[in-house]
Every structure is written in C-alpha cells, then in structure tokens.
Amino acid sequence: MGLISTFLGFSGFGIGVSAGLVIGYYLFIYFQPTDVKDPIIRPLVERDSETLQSLLPEIPLWVDWLNKFIEYMWPYLDKAICKTAKDIAKPIIAEQIPKYKIDSVEFETLTLGSLPPTFQGMKVYVTDEKELIMEPSLKWAGNPNVAVVARAFGLKATVQVVELQVFAAPRITLKPLVPSFPCFAKICVSLMEKPHVDFGLKLFGADLMSIPGLYRFVQEQIKDQVANMYLWPRNLEVQILDPSKALKKPVGILHVKVLRATKLKKKDFLGASDPYVKIKLTESKLPSKKTSVKHKNLNPEWNEEFNMVVKDPESQAVEFQVYDWEQVGKHDKMGMNVVPLKDLVPNEAKVLTLDLLKNMDPNDVQNEKIRGQIVVELLYKPFKEEDLPTFEDAGAVQKAPEGTPAGGGVLVVRVHEAQDVEGKHHTNPYVRVLFKGEEKKTKHVKKNRDPRWDEEFMFHLEEPPMNDKLHVEVASASSRIGLLHPKESLGYIDISLADVVHNRRINEKYHLIDSRNGKIQIELQWRTAS
C-alpha cells in the first residue's frame, strides 16, 4: 500500500501542475482586465519643483548656480547690454533713416527691466582651436522698457516695447583663449535657430499688437531680420581685449652669459662646495637653464651662454640662483639675485656683478650676510618690426593658386594624428581620404596605436562643397605576405564640409566610428582666389 500511495501522490502532483499551467496560460492570453486605466501624461513644465527633483535627482546644481549668478549681476549686465545695443543700433539706424525720409530715430528709454533671463541647460563643445564654444538654452520673460522716438516732418512719434518674451538657442564662442584676464579676447554670439519673440508694442499709448494680422506680421519680420543678422554662421562680435597684447607674442631674445662666481661660502662640512647656476625668466613657463657643475670650487668659472625668449621686457626679469650640488639629497641654495629687463639697454651688452642674497625681500636682515658674488653678461635684442608675428597672420588661410575658377577654390585636408587606434590582427595605420571619387593615402606607420602623419592633400573644385562630405578612414595593412587578414579598417568618419566653407578653416579631433576609443585630428581649409 505504501508503494501505491507514493506512486499516486507523485502522479497527482504532476497532473495538477500541468493542468494549472495550461489553465493559467489560457486565462492570461484570453482574458484581459477591465479596470486598467491609461496613465496620465503631463509635460514637465506643469510639474512643481518637488516632483521634478524626485523624477530627476541627477540634475546638476550648476544650472541653479548660474541663474543665481545672473540674477545678482543683472543690474550691471542690464547697463552693459543696453550700451552695447545702442552702439550696434546707431550705425544701422543712421544708414536706414534716409531711405524713409525720417529726420531722426533715438532711444528715449532703454532698460531690460528687473527680471533676468534663465538658462535651462547648456552644451559645451571642445575643439583643438584656442576657443570655448557653448550653446545654452535661454528663456527670458522680462519687463523691459524700450521707448524709441522717431521725428519726421515736424512730428514726433514714440514707440514703446513692453512685456518681452524670448526663447532662443544661441551659440556663444569665447576666442581666442589668452593668458590674460578674463582669458578670452572676443565673444562671438550667433543663433542656431530662429528665436521665438513675443512682445507688446505701444504707439501713443495704444496697443498696436491688438490690430488683427499685425501681431503675426511684426513677429515674423523680427524673426527674419534677427536671423539675417545673427543666424549661424553669421555672428555678433564683441571685442574684449586687444588680441595682440593679450597673447603676448615674443618680442625679443635675451642672451645670457654666466661668466664666473667669486668668494662663495663653503656649504659642505668636509671640503669645498660644488656650485652650479640656474637661470630662469619670470612670467615664463619654460624650464630653467642650468650651467655645468664645478666640483670643489668656491671661485668657479663657467663662460656658458644661453638664449631666452622675451615676451614683455617691461615686466619680466631674469633670475639667477646658485646651488651647491649634492650627490644624495637636496641641493643647498647658496644665494640668488634678479635683474629686471627694463634696466637693460636694447642691443647693448652689459656686464653685471651681483651680490648673492638669501631672497629678494629688502627688509630681510639675513640679506646683509656675505654669500659671494656672481658675474654675468646680458644682451637684450628686440625683434625688428617686420619680424614681429601678428595676430591676424596666426590663423590666416592662404589664397588659392592663380587660375582657380572665380566661384571655386581648393579644399585642403591636413591629416595630423590619430590616438588609440587598434586592429584585431595588426596595427600599421594609414589614412584614406576619399572625396568625389578621388582617393588620397598617407604613409604607413608600423606598429603604432598613436600614429602621427602631418600630411596634406588638396582637392581643386569649381564650386564650394556646401552639400558634400569628406570620408576619412583609418586602415591597417599587414607587412607580412600571405596573411589571412592583409587589410582591416580601424575606424572612419564622414565630415560635412559646410562648416569649413563658412569658417574657412577648422581643426578638430573626431571620434572614429567602429572604433572603441579611436580619435583622429583633421584640419580642413577652404582656399579661394579672393
């Protein structure tokens, strides 16, 4: 009986489970619940701040910080922006009013009000040029007061703009980046799309926007006019610094000759010191120059010469530091001194005998201690005016050669380098450049994941390549004969050429498609005869 009961138990369990699965599957497929309601979908703009924070806990705090900063700075930005707007508008008004026989058009009142714009987010682009590109999402529901007075035929009319709303996506470019505060020389602002503009317009106190059809007409006219002036690639440029001064180009060469030192004090407990001299130019990031070490000598002679690039002779100085060389441990400082370059007469050699000091603090009593002297010869040679590099020439694009068609030009492709390219079977990278059926190739670089080519190719065109793309592929070829995989692609990129036609020159790093981490740096130029 026990065996029969066990058998029947297992049989019942198997039949029950099978029947339950079949019935459950049938009910799931053929019977739908009737009390299910569609979810309520609401746009994010209708949510309160607490709900948004619970939905998007990772929203960066810098957006709120930036809006707070603009809120505090808005009274000052208001005045600066209004002044710039007047400066831009004056020549435009002066050019347009004669066409309509108007005597004058002037700003009676111009203020942007007390409500600042707010940033909803921002994209930042990194290029290999000395620039920073930002694309913020900007919304402004302001309370400006802009009153313009027009006079004609002895009559006066006042037009007032109120309740302005602007939704825009500008591109703000800070360039070039320079080592002088505020660290950029120019601001370029352009619009990536036509802005949304809504405002009230009053004439003699009456609301003109209430006239049927006028509101839409005026709004479209403003959009078109603003787009014609500032829609990318057109832009508004605001000069911040003089680029030639901000970049501090080299203006001369300082020739330094370290002659000798005398009466140096012994630093070693046993025996004499082993002196050498470090020479550095202040306000320069270049490493210091060093003389040779004169072992066991308190009156060493070097007669060693060095050349140093000078960028600002009015503020820079040459610094000499004498050290005692140690085979083990830190080198002991024996003394120092500084010579301002403004004390030197250009193109005139000067021999100086300098007392060695502990530091350059005139109030430090320890500087009265005798540490010896160093004798140097200095000669500052400024560049001639015609040899000075100019800012305009730094990124200039050459003209196309003679004989180039009037509407055409030369597309120059310069392949600089690649990074982190790697093949499955071999990595001997070279670059294929394909454009309109024509193919160019760089040299092969053997067994290198970070190859550098610096090769240039030219394509002569009869018209600007506004709607064309350039195909660039990094490939690898095996140096062995009979390999199963003689060639393989390491990644590619298709570059739209409209940007280079507008900007004349671009130099960027591109992420390679079909490559894990590969990048390639390509410089493009569009050269025309004009």
Q: Are residues 264 and 347 in the same domain?
A: yes
List all residues 6 or more positions away from 175 whose beta carbon is below 8 Å from its beta carbon.
129, 130, 131, 132, 184, 185, 186, 188
* 28 belongs to a structural domain: no
Strands 519-527 and 170-177 come out as unpaired
Q: Are residues 434 and 333 in the same domain?
A: no
- The helix/strand/coil state of 391 is helix
Last residue of a domain, one of 366, 382, 398: 382
Task: Say which CATH number the domain at 345 has.
Answer: 2.60.40.150
Alpha helices, DSSP H, located in 214-303: 214-230, 243-246
Q: Are residues 489 and 345 in the same domain?
A: no
Q: Are residues 216 and 167 in the same domain?
A: yes
For residue 215, the enclosing domain spans 63-242
pLDDT at 394: 43
pLDDT at 389: 47
Cα gap 314→385, rounded to integer Å: 17
* 464 belongs to a structural domain: yes
Number of domains within the chain: 3
Whole-Å CA distances, 193 to 134, 138, 202, 246, 322: 15, 12, 28, 33, 62
* 56 belongs to a structural domain: no
Q: Are residues 114 and 166 in the same domain?
A: yes
> Which DSSP state fits 57?
T
Cα gap 104→95, rounded to integer Å: 11
Q: Are residues 262 and 236 in the same domain?
A: no
pLDDT at 524: 92
Q: Residues 168-205: pLDDT tens digits?
A: 788 888 887 776 667 777 888 887 777 777 777 777 66
* 223 belongs to a structural domain: yes
- The helix/strand/coil state of 295 is coil
Q: Are residues 105 and 194 in the same domain?
A: yes
* 77 belongs to a structural domain: yes
Q: Are residues 226 and 261 in the same domain?
A: no
Q: Are residues 228 and 260 in the same domain?
A: no
Cα gap 255→245, rounded to integer Å: 24
pLDDT at 321: 92
C-alpha 206: how far from chain center: 48
pLDDT of 152 over the 90 cut:
no
Q: Are residues 365 and 479 in the same domain?
A: no
Q: What is the percentage of the chain residues whose pLDDT exceeds 70?
A: 74
pLDDT of 398 over the 60 cut:
yes
Last residue of a domain, one of 210, 242, 274: 242
Q: Residues 90-143: pLDDT tens digits?
A: 777 777 777 777 778 888 888 888 888 887 777 777 676 778 888 888 787 878
* 58 belongs to a structural domain: no
Alpha-carbon Rg for the chain, nearest whole angstrom, is 37
**Whole-number average pLDDT of the chain:** 78
Q: Residues 446-487: pLDDT tens digits?
A: 878 888 888 999 888 888 898 899 999 999 987 665 456 678
* 9 belongs to a structural domain: no
* 7 belongs to a structural domain: no
Q: Are residues 311 and 445 in the same domain?
A: no
Neighbours of 357 (CB within 10 A): 18
Cis amide leading into 287 (omega within 30): no
Q: Are residues 101 and 177 in the same domain?
A: yes
Last residue of a domain, one of 347, 382, 417: 382
Are the C-beta atoms of 248 and 179 separated by less than 8 Å?
yes
Q: Residues 285-303: pLDDT tens digits?
A: 677 888 888 888 889 999 9
- The model's pTM: 0.36
pLDDT of 26 over the 80 cut:
no
